[in-house]
């Protein structure tokens, strides 16, 4: 556990700490990146799998943030279920039912639900929350700003839900996708520097421990 803390400290040192502007300026240690595939893949296959996993994971994070911003409280299994039809939407009698089915339609169009097991997608979400919290922050800021605009409807209706699921979600989704793509490319080339800093930090810690032992 101590090693993980050292890794994260070093990585965070090259990551922006500006809380108002989400930053993707981060370089992950190679081992952390490889663990996303649970050591089932090697070489270029690891990079491809991880990029696809994170690309789908950030979309799930965005949908969850939208749901919470609108005040709905329910959970879903990302890789299970069926896509509702437009007739299903028209048949709903409450705004919550309408949102649930609308979100399900968006979920099946935005996320490759048949490409990953539920456990894999959840691991991608956890990975981004731990190492790249800017993803969740970027989605949340976008949705809160939209709902907080002066002309926003106080009572949520179907039109507002449609605008947020299509226009607002789509806009921030594309921006996050670009950032994720750039981050994974950068990580591939800068991991050597990060690993070197980790090794240097561990060596200094060992030397410090030896000095302390001499004075005990």
Please write the tens of the pLDDT for every residue from 92-137.
999 999 999 999 999 998 998 888 899 999 999 999 998 899 999 9
Can you read off the two tokens belonging to residue 176? 């996050």
Q: CB–CB of 28/191 below 8 Å?
A: yes
Indicate if the pLDDT at residue 180 is higher than 80.
yes
Q: How far is CA 160 from CA 70, 148, 194, in A?
A: 10, 13, 45
Can you read off the two tokens belonging to residue 159? 């039109």
Indicate if the pLDDT at residue 150 is higher than 80.
yes
- pLDDT, residue 43, reads 66
Indicate if the pLDDT at residue 2 is higher than 60.
no
C-alpha dihedral, 87 to 93 to 96 to 101, nearest 10°: -10
- pLDDT, residue 195, reads 63
The C-alpha atoms of residue 173 and residue 11 are separated, in whole angstroms, by 25
The C-alpha atoms of residue 126 and residue 85 are separated, in whole angstroms, by 31
Q: Which of 174, 172, 177, 184 is nearest to 142 (CA)?
A: 172
Instruction: Please measure the distance between the N-terminal and C-terminal CA atoms of the chain and give it in whole angstroms.
Output: 26
Mean per-residue pLDDT of the chain: 82
**32: CB partners within 8 A, 6+ apart:** 7, 131
- pLDDT, residue 35, reads 78
Q: CB–CB of 188/30 below 8 Å?
A: no
Q: CB–CB of 69/144 below 8 Å?
A: yes
Can you read off the two tokens belonging to residue 10? 């070093």
Bigger pLDDT: 30 vs 147: 147
Query: In 3-state terms, the chain is what percent helix, strand and coil (to 5)?
Result: 70, 0, 30
* pLDDT band of 191, cuts 50, 70, 90: low
Indicate if the pLDDT at residue 24 is higher than 70.
yes
Indicate if the pLDDT at residue 15 is higher than 90.
no
The C-alpha atoms of residue 196 and residue 185 are separated, in whole angstroms, by 19
The percentage of the chain sitting over the pLDDT mark of 70, rounded to a whole number, equals 80
* pLDDT band of 196, cuts 50, 70, 90: low
- pLDDT, residue 192, reads 66
Question: Computed over its alpha carbons, how large is the radius of gyration of the chain?
Answer: 21
Please write the tens of the pLDDT for every residue from 47-100.
788 889 999 999 999 999 999 999 999 989 998 888 999 999 999 999 999 999
Domain boundaries, the chain: 43-190
- pLDDT, residue 51, reads 86
- Mean pLDDT over residues 21-33, rounded? 75
The C-alpha atoms of residue 76 and residue 39 are separated, in whole angstroms, by 28
- pLDDT, residue 9, reads 38
Q: CB–CB of 127/134 below 8 Å?
A: no
- pLDDT, residue 7, reads 44
Can you read off the two tokens belonging to residue 171? 């806009």
The C-alpha atoms of residue 156 and residue 147 are separated, in whole angstroms, by 10
């Amino acid at each position: 556990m101590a090693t993980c803390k050292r890794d994260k400290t070093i990585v965070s040192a090259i990551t922006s700490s500006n809380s108002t502007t989400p930053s993707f300026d981060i370089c992950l240690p190679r081992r952390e990146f490889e663990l996303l595939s649970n050591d089932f893949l090697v070489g270029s296959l690891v990079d491809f799998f991880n990029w696809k996993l994170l690309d789908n994971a950030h979309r799930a994070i965005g949908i969850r943030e939208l749901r919470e911003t609108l005040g709905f409280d329910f959970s879903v299994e990302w890789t299970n279920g069926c896509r509702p039809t437009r007739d299903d939407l028209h048949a709903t009698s409450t705004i919550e039912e309408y949102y649930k089915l609308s979100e399900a339609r968006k979920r099946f169009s935005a996320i490759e639900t048949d490409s990953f097991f539920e456990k894999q997608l959840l691991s991608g979400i956890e990975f981004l929350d731990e190492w790249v919290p800017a993803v969740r922050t970027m989605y949340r800021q976008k949705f809160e700003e939209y709902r907080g605009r002066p002309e926003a409807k106080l009572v949520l209706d179907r039109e507002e839900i449609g605008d947020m699921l299509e226009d607002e979600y789509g806009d921030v989704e594309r921006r996050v996708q670009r950032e994720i793509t750039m981050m994974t490319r950068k990580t591939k080339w800068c991991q050597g520097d990060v690993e070197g800093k980790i090794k240097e930090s561990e060596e200094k810690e060992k030397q410090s421990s030896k000095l302390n032992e001499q004075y005990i």
